[in-house]
Amino acid sequence: MPPKMAICLLVFLLVGLPTFAADPDPVQDYCVPNPKVGNGRTTRSSVLPCKNSSEVTTDDFVFSGMKNFTANFSETGLAALSVNPTLFPGLNTLGMSFMKAELRVGGINPPHFHPRATEIAYLVRGSVYSGFVDSANRVFARVIEAGEVMVYPRGLVHFQMNVGDKPATIFGSFNSQNAGVQKLPATIFGSGINSELLEKAFGLSPKQIGHMRRKLDPKTTR
């Protein structure tokens, strides 16, 4: 292979591979985890052997938790149920997960991001101010109505706020079975980052930093 072509190929691989990174493709139709291994003991490991296909039933691919979801609202007016293979084993190895969120009138889903997944959010009911911020700090946001869908690219900060006069319901889906979530207020003020650094970064006083930490975790005294 000519040297120039080899260099071009190397550059393509170095630049392109992160772009294509995602959950591994399944190598079989499905892999419903077998919660019992060894001598009938239940394991908490996230890597479980598959059930024998003869033991898999239709019920393994049906999740009824959404219809029985009881909304326990946070201080921000958000109640959410995240569904991954832990709750719905039939999703295992399929590279996807989903969630249901309820927003009270005026409620918000604080700025957050999913490090391992792009999210598609379908507004089932209500009127929601929805958007995300790209790496150039450009905001893409607008009010979406029931029946509309918005996408939040992987790793970008996004948010929602109910701006209607009725509760709102959002159904979100992810292209990873373990999307992960980092909510900015908790990540910044609830993770134990040095207080002096936060004071300098945000121009806040020690008293204000302490207030934010206590608000996120009443047990926090630092």
* CATH assignment at residue 128: 2.60.120.10
pLDDT at 184: 93
Q: Are 132 and 180 part of one and the same domain?
A: yes
Q: Are 197 and 94 part of one and the same domain?
A: no
Number of domains in the chain: 2
Q: Are 180 and 195 part of one and the same domain?
A: no
Q: Is there a domain that residue 159 lies in?
A: yes
CA distance 53 to 76: 44
Q: Is there a domain that residue 222 lies in?
A: no
Phi and psi torsions of 139, nearest 5°:
-95, 130
The answer to whether 163 touches 143, Cβ cutoff 8 Å, is: yes
CA distance 72 to 61: 26
pLDDT higher at 14 or 159: 159
Q: Are 174 and 81 part of one and the same domain?
A: yes
- How many other C-beta atoms can be found within 10 angstroms of the C-beta atom of residue 160? 28
pTM reported for the whole predicted model: 0.79
Question: In this predicted model, what pLDDT tens digit does every residue of 16-63 receive, in sequence order?
Answer: 444 445 677 777 899 999 877 544 444 444 566 899 999 999 999 999
Q: Is there a domain that residue 6 lies in?
A: no
pLDDT at 110: 95
For the cut 80, the answer to whether the pLDDT of residue 141 exceeds it is: yes
Question: In this predicted model, what pLDDT tens digit does every residue of 100-135 receive, in sequence order?
Answer: 999 999 999 999 999 999 999 999 999 999 999 999
Q: Is there a domain that residue 81 lies in?
A: yes
Q: Are 95 and 194 part of one and the same domain?
A: no
Q: Is there a domain that residue 23 lies in?
A: no
Q: Is there a domain that residue 4 lies in?
A: no
pLDDT at 78: 96
Q: Is there a domain that residue 27 lies in?
A: no
- Look up the domain containing 195 and give its range: 190-216
Q: Are 201 and 134 part of one and the same domain?
A: no
Residues 6 or more apart from 21 whose CB is under 8 A from it? none
CA distance 151 to 31: 28
Q: Are 73 and 164 part of one and the same domain?
A: yes
Q: Band of the pLDDT at 142, cuts 50, 70, 90?
A: very high
Q: Is there a domain that residue 47 lies in?
A: no
Q: Are 79 and 172 part of one and the same domain?
A: yes
Q: Are 114 and 211 part of one and the same domain?
A: no
Q: Are 89 and 196 part of one and the same domain?
A: no
Residue 78: exposure state from Cβ atoms within 10 A (0-12, 13-18, ≥19): buried
Q: Are 85 and 175 part of one and the same domain?
A: yes
pLDDT at 69: 85
- How many other C-beta atoms can be found within 10 angstroms of the C-beta atom of residue 16? 10
* Sequential DSSP letters for the chain: --HHHHHHHHHHHHHHHHHH--SPPPSSS---B-SEETTTEE---S--PBPPGGG--GGGG---TTTT------TTSEEEEEE-TTT-GGGTTSS-EEEEEEE-TT-EEEEEE-TT--EEEEEEESEEEEEEE-TT--EEEEEEETT-EEEE-TT-EEEEEE-SSS-EEEEEEESSTT---EEHHHHHHSS---HHHHHHHHT--HHHHHHHHHHH-TT---
Q: Are 99 and 150 part of one and the same domain?
A: yes
